[in-house]
C-alpha cells in the first residue's frame, strides 16, 4: 500500500535536467540518447512562459532554449524531461499550427506513435516529420479516444456557436470524418477493448456499438443533483465514471460491466472527477478540491497526495503506471505498486498522454 506523501517543494527545472530524477524504468532514455518517442513513457503538454532551456549533455544544439515558446509538448521518461521529437523543426511546425498551447483541450497517442492534439480550430496530427491539421475536422474538440485496432479516432465536440457539436469518428485510413451523434453538451469519450464507444455529458452516459450505428443509455441522473465528472475504460474490461452530488458535497464512482449490462456504484466522501483504473481494478481518482486518492479493489479511498490546487489531468497505461498533473506545474508519477514520485516543472502543465 502506498503511503500519503506531500508534494515536494519546487525543484528548479535546470537542476532536474542536469541531475536527472526518478527514471526507474527500463527504457533507453538517458540524456545521451534523447528521444525519439520510443524512449518515452508519456507526453506532457504545457503552457509557458518558460525560461531558457539550459545546455545539457546529450542535447543537440538546435534544441537549446527551444522553450522560449509560449508552450511546448515535452517528452516524459519517469520524471525526466526529454525532447519529444527527433527534429526541432517538428516542434516549430507545431507551434505555427497551434500557437496557443493553452487552448489545446485533448491529446491522444496511437500505437504507431501518431499524436493527435485538439484545439478550437480542430484536430492536429503529428506523425514526425509530418505535422498537419486534419481536413474537415470538427471545431472545439474537448475529448478524444482511439479504437482498439487504432483505425478510428473518436472525438467529442462541444461547439457552442456552430453546428459541429456531438460525437465524431475519423477513419485513419480513408482520412474522412463522420458525424455520429448530436449532443451539444457531450464532454467525455472512452472506448473499451471490444470497441464499444462511451460518451457522456453532465446527465447521461451513452454507449454506442463498435460501428456506432446504434446507442443505448448506461446512466441518467433523472433530475437529481448528481453530475457526471469523469469517464474511463478500465484495463479490467469495465467502464468507470464519477458523479458528484453538489448538494451533499460527496460523490459516487459507478462501475458498468458491458458483458452483462450491470451498473453498480461506490459512495465516497469526496467529490470525484478525474478517474483512472488499473488492470486489477485499483482506482485512482482526483477530487474537486485537489486531492489524489487511491482506492484498491474492494477497499476504501486513501489520500495519496495533496497538491494544494486542482489536479487537471490523470492518465494510466497498460502497465499500471500513472501520471497526475496538478495546477501550478506539479507532475506526479505513480509507478505500479510503488510510492508516488513528484516534481515541479516550469510552465503550467495541463495535459498528459501515455504510451502503451
- For residue range 293-333, what is the model confidence (pLDDT) as tens digits? 999 887 888 888 655 578 889 999 888 889 998 887 788 88
> So what's the pLDDT on residue 337?
73
Starting at the edge strand found earlier in the chain, the sheet holding 291-295 runs 272-277, 283-287, 291-295, 302-306
pLDDT above 60 for 103: yes
Assign 36 a pLDDT band (cuts: 50, 70, 90).
low
CB-CB contact of 165 with 183 (8 Å): yes
To the nearest 10°, report the CA torsion of 264, 270, 275, 276: -90
Domain boundaries, the chain: 109-122+135-220
Compute how many other C-beta atoms are within 10 angstroms of the C-beta atom of residue 27: 16
| CATH, domain 109-122+135-220, list 2.40.37.10, 2.120.10.30, 1.20.120.1690, 1.10.3720.10 | 2.120.10.30
HSE, CB side, 13 Å, CA atoms: give it for residue 249: 1
> So what's the pLDDT on residue 296?
85
Q: Which residues, 6+ apart, have CB-to-CB distance to 16 below 8 Å? A: 79, 80, 81, 343, 345
pLDDT above 90 for 34: no
- For residue range 213-262, what is the model confidence (pLDDT) as tens digits? 778 999 998 878 899 999 999 877 899 999 998 788 889 999 999 989 99
Compute how many other C-beta atoms are within 10 angstroms of the C-beta atom of residue 222: 7
Amino acid at each position: 500500500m502506498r503511503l500519503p506523501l506531500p508534494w515536494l517543494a519546487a525543484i528548479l527545472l535546470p537542476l532536474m535536467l542536469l541531475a536527472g530524477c526518478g527514471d526507474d524504468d527500463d527504457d533507453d532514455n538517458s540524456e545521451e540518447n534523447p528521444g525519439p518517442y520510443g524512449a518515452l513513457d508519456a507526453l506532457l503538454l504545457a503552457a509557458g512562459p518558460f525560461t531558457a532551456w539550459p545546455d545539457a549533455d546529450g542535447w543537440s544544439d538546435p534544441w537549446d532554449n527551444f522553450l522560449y515558446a509560449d508552450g511546448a509538448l515535452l517528452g516524459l521518461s519517469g520524471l525526466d524531461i526529454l525532447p519529444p521529437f527527433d527534429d526541432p523543426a517538428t516542434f516549430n511546425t507545431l507551434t505555427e499550427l497551434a500557437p496557443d498551447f493553452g487552448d489545446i483541450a485533448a491529446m491522444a497517442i496511437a500505437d504507431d506513435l501518431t499524436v493527435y492534439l485538439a484545439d478550437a480550430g480542430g484536430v492536429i496530427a503529428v506523425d514526425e516529420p509530418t505535422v498537419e491539421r486534419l481536413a474537415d475536422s470538427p471545431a472545439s474538440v474537448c475529448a478524444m479516444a482511439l479504437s482498439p485496432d487504432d483505425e478510428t479516432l473518436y472525438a467529442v465536440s462541444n461547439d457552442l456557436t456552430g453546428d459541429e457539436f456531438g460525437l465524431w469518428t475519423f477513419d485513419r485510413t480513408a482520412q474522412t470524418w463522420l458525424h455520429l451523434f448530436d449532443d451539444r453538451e457531450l464532454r467525455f469519450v472512452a472506448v473499451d477493448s471490444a470497441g464499444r464507444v462511451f460518451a457522456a455529458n453532465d446527465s447521461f452516459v451513452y454507449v454506442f456499438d463498435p460501428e456506432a450505428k446504434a446507442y443505448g443509455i448506461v446512466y441518467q441522473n433523472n433530475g437529481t443533483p448528481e453530475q457526471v465528472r469523469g469517464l474511463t475504460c478500465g484495463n479490467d474490461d469495465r467502464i468507470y465514471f464519477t458523479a458528484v452530488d453538489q448538494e451533499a458535497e460527496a460523490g459516487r464512482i459507478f462501475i458498468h460491466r458491458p458483458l452483462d449490462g450491470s451498473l453498480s456504484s461506490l459512495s465516497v466522501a469526496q467529490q470525484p472527477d478525474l478517474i483512472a483504473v488499473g488492470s486489477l481494478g485499483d482506482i485512482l481518482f482526483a477530487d474537486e478540491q485537489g486531492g489524489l486518492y487511491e482506492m484498491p479493489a474492494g477497499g476504501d479511498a486513501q489520500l495519496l497526495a495533496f497538491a494544494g490546487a486542482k489536479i487537471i489531468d490523470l492518465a494510466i497505461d497498460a502497465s499500471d503506471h500513472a501520471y497526475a498533473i496538478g495546477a501550478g506545474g506539479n507532475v506526479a508519477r505513480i509507478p505500479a505498486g510503488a510510492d508516488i514520485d513528484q516534481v515541479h516543472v516550469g510552465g503550467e502543465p495541463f495535459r498528459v498522454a501515455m504510451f502503451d
